[in-house]
Amino acid sequence: MTAMNNLILGVNGSPHKRGKGARLLRESLARCRKERFQTELVHLVDWETQFYHGNYTDRTPKGMEKVFQLVDQADGIVFSSPTYWFNVGSLMKNFIEQLTVLNFRKGEYTLRGKVAGFIATCEEDGGQAAINAMAAPLVHMGFLIPPQTMLFYNINMAEKSHEKWMLKDAPYVGLNVVRLVRLTKGQDWGYE
């Protein structure tokens, strides 16, 4: 149905490349590939960058050129972050702040119409709060969020979840991101 030219980017905001969040992210991306989409995985811990400068310039942060190029090319992005103190991890928080540079390039919302999915891992509580901390600014930037693409995985509760749903849902995050990309690609999301 879809040619292999669509791109879904996975962004791992954990300092651990082989942790639970990274594994769930890889499962999500595997489902995207099964749907004939290309995927790329970025581990934010590999990209040294300064903190967001706080002004609305189009200056790409030093060291983030390749990551920003992938974000620009991507039709959809699956964001994965650990939960620290009921919030998103600092690597992901800084990355989302840095996206402001891309979003306001040439005074436009250039990320508008990209599709997003989310994975958050937690040990106790706060997974949904971490997802909300990612989703809220991205929706304002113009990202679209399909149903059932906000997976929080409680490491201590996964085996006890209803029908072990936490263990099964990561591929559906990728699938639903792909489905919304197919439905909306080429739409104009600008103001009239």
101-122 pLDDT, tens digit per residue, is: 887 776 678 899 999 999 999 8
Helix (H), strand (E) at residue 7 = strand 7-12
Question: Does some domain include residue 29?
Answer: yes
Q: Tell me, what CATH number does 157's domain have?
A: 3.40.50.360
Give dist(CA 101, CA 60) in Å, integer: 7
Q: What is the pLDDT of residue 137?
A: 96
Give dist(CA 149, CA 110) in Å, integer: 22
Question: Does some domain include residue 1?
Answer: no
Strands 115-122, 7-12: pairing kind: unpaired
Helix (H, G, I), strand (E, B) or coil at 118: strand
Q: What is the pLDDT of residue 153?
A: 79
Report the number of distinct structural domains present in the chain. 1
pTM of the model: 0.90
Question: Does some domain include residue 76?
Answer: yes
pLDDT tier for residue 4 given thresholds of 50, 70 and 90: very low
pLDDT tier for residue 49 given thresholds of 50, 70 and 90: confident
pLDDT tier for residue 23 given thresholds of 50, 70 and 90: very high
- Average pLDDT along the chain: 87
- Helical axes 20-34 vs 170-184, angle rounded to 10°: 40
Question: Does some domain include residue 189?
Answer: no
Q: What is the pLDDT of residue 69?
A: 92
| Tokens, residue 78 | 């699956």
Q: 41: buried, middle or exposed (CB in 10 Å: 19+, 13-18, 0-12)? A: middle
Q: What is the pLDDT of residue 3?
A: 41
Question: Does some domain include residue 30?
Answer: yes
pLDDT tops 70 at residue 72: yes
Q: Tens digits of per-residue pLDDT, 170-182?
A: 899 999 999 999 9
Question: Does some domain include residue 80?
Answer: yes
pLDDT tops 70 at residue 159: no
Give dist(CA 188, CA 192) in Å, integer: 10
Residues spanned by the domain of 113: 7-184
Question: Does some domain include residue 118?
Answer: yes
Question: Does some domain include residue 169?
Answer: yes
